């Protein structure tokens, strides 16, 4: 695979991947848009071509835009720039477009296209030496896009279907029966051989390729007592995709927490955390989910709130920002946010008490973007894996490049997502590891689909499943058969 440099991508750009706003594809002018012009736009300046891109309801910050010095350190970590080598599909290019919007330019179709193409992986935030808050810029921009930009009928219908389904665990679980029948009747094999689904309905084909093997696992009880002395009272998010398609990960998480002295609270009334919504500009919807989750858990008296899905965790840790303007929930959200921990964070923070049994095997660990880049949680999962006797962890090439899942980005953009998934799958297979370990359901599905397209074979597991197998002394077979 070709190396990436700061000026050329390695994939095929889409037909409409052209510079926007008259900016040369080779770069953004040093200095960008004058800050005074940006602030003037925030106060309502208009363009002859139409109303300015952003209104006064949480527009992207002119000060954050001016923080970008266009150094280019973000380019080699940005998945869309890696694929296409197009300046407007890089973080600094999108920041330039945001600046144009703040200076009074209208929200054009071309501008929105480049914003939509961002995976939101936040690798650029990790790479940026100036500390530019691209995460805040793109989130505020997407909220403006969703409120102010009219999408085409097909795009509206697809997004409406996605957000009527994915944030609702019960609706997702209803899909398990038809999906199981689709596979057992042989219809899936027929579709795979004919390629008909790919030609007629690429979005459905993508969903079909992503769906994992279904497992029947009992739902965890509402309260699970600690084994031995209780060290903490922990609320746990069961998630949407996680609970519907990876219930075994939740079961493993509960067993680990109990083994490490945590009493686990799992209210059955809990709903979506709002991560998919907030990452796609649906702020009001995300706020509604956040309020409901706070209402459900704040009465439990929990010490910590544990999350085993990276995308969910990154949003939960920002509830204080999401609800900062809500007088009824601002303080409550800040209190809730302070208790949120990724599973690996809490286990390292508490320290191990349960015995780890040997797992003589080689694994490759994949940093889920919203765990490594968005939350900065990298050392803790590796420390947990290093604590398992006889387990060897191998690094993955281009670890900073997203696998292409990015919430629902792979459903909205199936072709480039497959390119990124294939790239990540090849890097994983090149490690020669027996097992791929990661901490996000979307990553597990995306990489598994890429490995199947590569014709490769490797077992996949969540970090919780590896720890559970070690603590319960299940041996490597329990993981390699998954």
- CATH number, domain of 453, equals 3.40.50
CA distance 311 to 411: 16
Per-residue DSSP letter, 82:
H
In this structure, the strands spanning 262-265 and 223-224 are antiparallel
Is 20 a member of any domain? Answer: no
Nearest to 424 by CA among 455, 446, 395, 408: 446
Residues 120 and 200 placed together within one structural domain of the fold: no
Is 448 a member of any domain? Answer: yes
Residues 291 and 199 placed together within one structural domain of the fold: no
Q: How confident is the model at residue 303 (pLDDT cuts 50, 70, 90)?
A: very high
Asked if residue 36 has pLDDT above 60, the reply is no
Residues 142 and 173 placed together within one structural domain of the fold: no
Question: Which pLDDT score, from 0 to 100, does residue 40 have?
Answer: 42
User: 108 to each of 54, 92, 159, 454, how far by Cα in Å?
Assistant: 11, 18, 19, 38
Q: Please answer whether residues 317 and 356 qualify as being in contact, where contact means their C-beta atoms are separated by less than 8 angstroms.
A: no
Is 395 a member of any domain? Answer: yes
Neighbours of 322 (CB within 10 A): 23
Q: What is the value of pTM for the model shown?
A: 0.84
In this structure, the strands spanning 391-394 and 304-307 are unpaired
Q: How confident is the model at residue 220 (pLDDT cuts 50, 70, 90)?
A: confident
Q: How confident is the model at residue 3 (pLDDT cuts 50, 70, 90)?
A: very low
CA distance 403 to 389: 29
Is 289 a member of any domain? Answer: yes
Token pair in block for residue 219? 């739902």
CA distance 237 to 21: 43
CA distance 19 to 106: 16
Q: Work out the average pLDDT over 126-133.
A: 95
Residues 196 and 308 placed together within one structural domain of the fold: no
**246 three-state secondary structure:** coil
Question: Which pLDDT score, from 0 to 100, does residue 10 have?
Answer: 44
Question: Which pLDDT score, from 0 to 100, does residue 355 have?
Answer: 97
Is 24 a member of any domain? Answer: no
Per-residue DSSP letter, 305:
E
Polymer length of the chain: 482
Asked if residue 48 has pLDDT above 60, the reply is no
In this structure, the strands spanning 304-307 and 262-265 are unpaired
Which residues are paired to 459 by β-bridges?
A: 435
Is 414 a member of any domain? Answer: yes
Range of the domain at 439: 356-480
| Half-sphere exposure of residue 24: CA atoms within 13 angstroms, side-chain side | 6
Q: Enumerate residues 6+ apart whose C-beta is below 8 A from 242.
A: 249, 250, 308, 309, 312, 441
Lowest mean pLDDT among 103-117, 141-155, 209-223, 418-432: 209-223
Number of domains in the chain: 4
Of 121, 148, 175, at which residue does a domain stop?
A: 148
Per-residue DSSP letter, 233:
E
Per-residue DSSP letter, 228:
S
Q: Please answer whether residues 302 and 234 qualify as being in contact, where contact means their C-beta atoms are separated by less than 8 angstroms.
A: yes
Token pair in block for residue 56? 């006064």
Per-residue DSSP letter, 186:
T
Residues 263 and 373 placed together within one structural domain of the fold: no
Token pair in block for residue 253? 């998480």
CA distance 457 to 394: 17
Residues 235 and 297 placed together within one structural domain of the fold: yes
Of 116, 148, 180, at which residue does a domain stop?
A: 148
Residue 85 is part of a domain; what is its CATH number? 1.10.1060.10
User: 275 to each of 143, 322, 349, 407, 447, how far by Cα in Å?
Assistant: 13, 11, 25, 8, 21
Neighbours of 152 (CB within 10 A): 9
Asked if residue 165 has pLDDT above 80, the reply is yes
Residues 176 and 242 placed together within one structural domain of the fold: no
Residues 339 and 255 placed together within one structural domain of the fold: yes
Question: Which pLDDT score, from 0 to 100, does residue 217 have?
Answer: 72
CA distance 163 to 166: 6
For residues 5 and 319, which has the higher predicted lDDT (pLDDT)?
A: 319
Q: Could you report the per-residue pLDDT of 67-101, keeping only the tens digit for each?
A: 999 999 999 999 999 999 999 999 999 999 999 99
Residues 335 and 360 placed together within one structural domain of the fold: no
Is 215 a member of any domain? Answer: no
Residues 61 and 137 placed together within one structural domain of the fold: yes
Residues 372 and 474 placed together within one structural domain of the fold: yes
Q: Please answer whether residues 76 and 82 qualify as being in contact, where contact means their C-beta atoms are separated by less than 8 angstroms.
A: yes
Residues 232 and 316 placed together within one structural domain of the fold: yes
Question: Which pLDDT score, from 0 to 100, does residue 101 have?
Answer: 95
DSSP characters over 350-386: H---SPPPP--EEEEE---HHHHTSS---HHHHHHHH
Is 471 a member of any domain? Answer: yes
Tell me the pLDDT of the chain averaged across its residues: 86
Q: Please answer whether residues 155 and 74 qualify as being in contact, where contact means their C-beta atoms are separated by less than 8 angstroms.
A: no
DSSP characters over 98-166: HHHHHTT----HHHHHHHHT-----HHHHH-TT---HHHHHHHHHHHHHHH-PPPHHHHHHHHHHHHHT
Of 161, 185, 210, at which residue does a domain stop?
A: 210
């Amino acid at each position: 695979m070709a190396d990436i440099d700061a000026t050329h991508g390695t994939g095929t750009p889409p037909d409409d991947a052209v510079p926007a706003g008259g900016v040369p594809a080779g770069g953004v002018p040093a200095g960008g848009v004058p800050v005074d012009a940006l602030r003037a736009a925030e106060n309502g300046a208009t363009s002859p071509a139409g109303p300015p891109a952003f209104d006064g309801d949480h527009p992207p910050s002119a000060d954050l835009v001016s923080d970008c010095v266009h150094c280019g350190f973000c380019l080699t970590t940005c998945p869309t720039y890696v694929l296409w080598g197009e300046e407007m599909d890089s973080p600094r290019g999108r920041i330039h477009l945001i600046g144009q919007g703040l200076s009074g330019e209208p929200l054009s179709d071309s501008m929105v296209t480049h914003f939509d193409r961002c995976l939101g992986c936040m690798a650029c935030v990790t790479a940026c030496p100036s500390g530019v808050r691209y995460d805040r810029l793109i989130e505020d921009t997407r909220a403006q896009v969703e409120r102010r930009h009219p999408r085409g009928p097909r795009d509206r219908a697809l997004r409406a279907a996605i957000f009527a389904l994915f944030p609702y665990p019960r609706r997702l679980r209803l899909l398990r029966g038809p999906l199981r029948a689709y596979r057992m009747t042989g219809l899936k094999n027929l579709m795979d051989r004919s390629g008909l689904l790919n030609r007629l309905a690429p979005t459905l084909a993508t969903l079909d390729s992503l769906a994992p093997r279904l497992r029947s696992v009992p739902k965890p009880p509402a309260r699970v007592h600690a084994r031995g002395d209780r060290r903490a009272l922990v609320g746990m998010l069961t998630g949407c995709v996680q609970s519907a398609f990876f219930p075994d990960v939740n079961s493993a998480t509960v067993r680990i927490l109990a083994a490490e002295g945590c009493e686990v609270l799992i209210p059955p009334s809990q709903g979506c955390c709002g991560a998919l919504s907030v990452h796609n500009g649906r702020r009001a919807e995300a706020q509604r989910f956040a309020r409901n989750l706070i209402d459900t858990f704040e009465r439990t008296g929990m010490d910590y709130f544990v999350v085993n899905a990276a995308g969910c965790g990154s949003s939960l840790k920002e509830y204080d920002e999401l609800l900062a303007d809500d007088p009824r929930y601002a303080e409550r959200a800040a209190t809730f946010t302070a208790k949120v921990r990724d599973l690996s964070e809490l286990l390292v923070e508490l320290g191990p008490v349960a015995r780890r049994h040997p797992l003589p095997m080689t694994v490759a660990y994949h940093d889920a973007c919203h765990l490594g880049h968005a939350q900065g949680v990298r050392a803790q999962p590796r420390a947990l894996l290093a604590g398992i006797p006889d387990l060897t962890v191998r690094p993955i090439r281009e670890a900073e490049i997203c696998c292409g899942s990015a919430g629902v980005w792979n459903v909205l953009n199936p072709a480039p997502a497959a390119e990124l998934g294939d790239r990540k799958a090849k890097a994983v297979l090149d490690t020669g590891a027996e097992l791929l370990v990661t901490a996000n359901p979307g990553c597990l599905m995306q990489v598994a689909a890429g490995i199947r397209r590569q014709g490769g074979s490797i077992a996949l597991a969540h970090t919780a499943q590896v720890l559970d197998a070690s603590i319960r002394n299940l041996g490597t077979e329990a993981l390699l058969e998954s």
